């Protein structure tokens, strides 16, 4: 069949013109005061966390990745394709179980639900662009968020997205990065370097490939454009850690040129107001970028306190993952408490928890932002309050 010339032209254009990065329509009427978030969750686990989250009455909930674990237990099969099939078939079942949890169902009724993915809801541990199931996994991800079947996000590679809430003066921009779909392979180090010693743990070392990417070209262009838009507070969501760079697990630092590019972009674009949210690590912590602790820190200095709040895990924290409470019988969890992070403020939290950002737009001395971590039963164990004005460029 010979296609009409106009249709051929449209198809040809679609083949070479990339679909734009997804940006939801602004919601100026929706003012956010409380944003809760978390990662590393198993819907098969009994947990008090959703009752605790609902008690805080957040206006929005952000998934930081690992909403479910498609690769746990490890898929079995004679070939990589067979094992991938097992993981992919689990995804819709696990998502359905999460949606059916009464506490989460209540949260969906009350709050705006946003999110990105990490490796386990992407489909397989630590994989990136080399995951053969990524296209199918993306459709399951979008099903979970109720994305319409005719949405452009169904046709565009990757799940990165952006949202804007509130009017000028109270605008919060949420940027959800996709650190999986386009990511180059990780570089494994010598096995002796992965020993659980001195707080430097994990199997990976920085990539030596100067062209290795984490976000991919289109997502980088999209991100830079977003950072030039006006906003009073920007929440930059990365499933893996950005500022912490001392451990040897997944992190932006495994691609040093990509980490520097992001920090340089934050230093040179917009007026500031960025707070990074991350997950993945099965523990929580607060980090503040210290230029003095970086080789090229002066170039990367944003001119204000750049904070990163890591919230992980909702149900799969270090003691749970490594087999029990922190005790001599769980040496890995014990070492986990001493994992190095030269940018950390306070201590590491290796227990199930969720994160909460509260914005007091009407504070007497001007709007203020409070970053907090709460244990799954609700107790607040970390609290850091900063004036919103102090997060603007030149405030330091």
CA within 13 Å, CB half, 250: 22
Q: Which is nearest to 237 in space by CA: 171, 293, 312? A: 312
Residue 319's pLDDT is 60
Number of CB atoms found within 10 A of residue 135's CB: 10
200, pLDDT greater than 70: no
Mean pLDDT of 97-126: 97
18, pLDDT greater than 50: no
Residue 46's pLDDT is 83
Between CA 70 and CA 48 the distance in angstroms is 22
Domain range for 343: 27-391
Residue 70's pLDDT is 97
Q: Is residue 19 part of a domain?
A: no
Between CA 94 and CA 281 the distance in angstroms is 21
Residue 11's pLDDT is 30
Mean pLDDT of 150-175: 95
Query: H/E/C letters for each residue in 89-142?
Result: HHHHHHHHHHHHCHHHHHHHHHCEEEECCCHHHHCCCCCCCCCCCHHHHHHHHH
What backbone phi and psi angles, to 5 degrees, belong to 358?
Answer: -115, 135
Q: Is residue 219 part of a domain?
A: yes
Peptide bond into 218 cis (omega under 30): no
Residue 198's pLDDT is 53
Q: Is residue 267 part of a domain?
A: yes
**Tokens standing for residue 48:** 């008090």
What backbone phi and psi angles, to 5 degrees, belong to 354?
Answer: -135, 165
Q: Are 22 and 162 in contact (CB under 8 A)?
A: yes
CATH of the domain at 324: 3.60.21.70
Q: Are 310 and 250 in contact (CB under 8 A)?
A: no
CA within 13 Å, CB half, 85: 7
pLDDT interval class at 1 (50, 70, 90): very low
Q: Is residue 1 part of a domain?
A: no
Higher local confidence (pLDDT), 15 or 271: 271
**Secondary structure tally for the chain: helices H, strands E:** 11, 16
**Tokens standing for residue 221:** 């262009």
Mean pLDDT of 86-96: 98
Write down the pTM of the prediction: 0.91
Q: Is residue 14 part of a domain?
A: no
DSSP 322: T
181, pLDDT greater than 60: yes
Helices 102-110 and 80-100 pack at an angle, to 10 degrees, of 70
Residue 325's pLDDT is 41
Q: List, for residues 320-342, the tens digit of each pLDDT value.
A: 554 444 333 344 444 456 788 99
377, pLDDT greater than 50: yes
pLDDT interval class at 8 (50, 70, 90): very low
Q: Mean pLDDT of all residues in the chain?
A: 88
370, pLDDT greater than 90: yes
Q: Is residue 78 part of a domain?
A: yes
Q: Which is nearest to 166 in space by CA: 27, 364, 5? A: 27
Higher local confidence (pLDDT), 55 or 6: 55
H/E stretch holding 172: strand 172-176
Q: Is residue 192 part of a domain?
A: yes
Domain count across the chain: 1
122, pLDDT greater than 60: yes
Residue 195's pLDDT is 53
Q: Is residue 16 part of a domain?
A: no
271, pLDDT greater than 90: no
């Amino acid at each position: 069949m010979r296609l009409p010339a106009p249709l051929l032209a449209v198809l040809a254009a679609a083949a070479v013109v990339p679909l734009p990065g997804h940006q939801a329509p602004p919601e100026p009427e929706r003012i956010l005061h409380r944003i809760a978030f978390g990662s590393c969750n198993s819907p098969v686990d009994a947990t008090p966390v959703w009752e605790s989250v609902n008690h805080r009455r957040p206006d929005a909930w952000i998934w930081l990745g690992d909403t479910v674990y498609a690769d746990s237990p490890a898929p079995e099969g004679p070939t990589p394709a067979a094992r991938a099939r097992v993981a992919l078939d689990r995804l819709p079942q696990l998502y359905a179980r999460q949606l059916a949890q009464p506490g989460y169902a209540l949260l969906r009724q009350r709050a705006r639900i946003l999110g990105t993915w990490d490796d386990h809801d992407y489909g397989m541990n630590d994989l990136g662009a080399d995951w053969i199931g990524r296209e199918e996994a993306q459709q399951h991800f979008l099903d979970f968020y109720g994305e319409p079947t005719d949405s452009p996000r169904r046709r565009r590679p990757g799940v990165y997205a952006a949202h804007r809430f509130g009017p000028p003066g109270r605008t919060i921009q949420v940027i959800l990065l996709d650190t999986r779909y386009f990511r180059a392979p990780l570089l494994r180090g010598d096995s002796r370097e992965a020993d659980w010693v001195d707080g430097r743990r994990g199997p990976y070392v920085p990539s030596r490939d100067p062209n290795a990417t984490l976000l991919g070209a289109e997502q980088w262009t999209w991100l830079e454009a977003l950072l030039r838009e006006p906003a009073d507070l920007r929440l930059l969501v990365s499933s893996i850690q950005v500022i912490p760079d001392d451990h040897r697990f997944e992190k932006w630092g495994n691609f040093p040129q990509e980490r520097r590019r992001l920090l340089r972009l934050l230093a040179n674009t917009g007026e500031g107001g960025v707070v990074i949210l991350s997950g993945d690590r099965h523990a929580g912590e607060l980090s503040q970028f210290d230029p003095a602790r970086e080789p090229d820190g002066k170039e990367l200095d944003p001119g204000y306190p750049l904070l990163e709040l890591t919230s992980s895990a909702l149900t799969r924290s270090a003691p749970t993952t490594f087999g029990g409470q922190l005790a001599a019988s769980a040496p890995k969890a014990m070492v986990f408490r001493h994992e190095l992070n030269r940018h950390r403020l306070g201590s590491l939290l290796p227990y199930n928890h969720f994160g909460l950002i509260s914005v007091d737009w009407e504070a007497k001395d001007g709007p203020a932002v409070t970053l907090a971590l709460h244990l799954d039963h609700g107790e607040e164990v970390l609290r850091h309050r900063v004036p919103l004005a102090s997060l603007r460029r030149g405030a330091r």
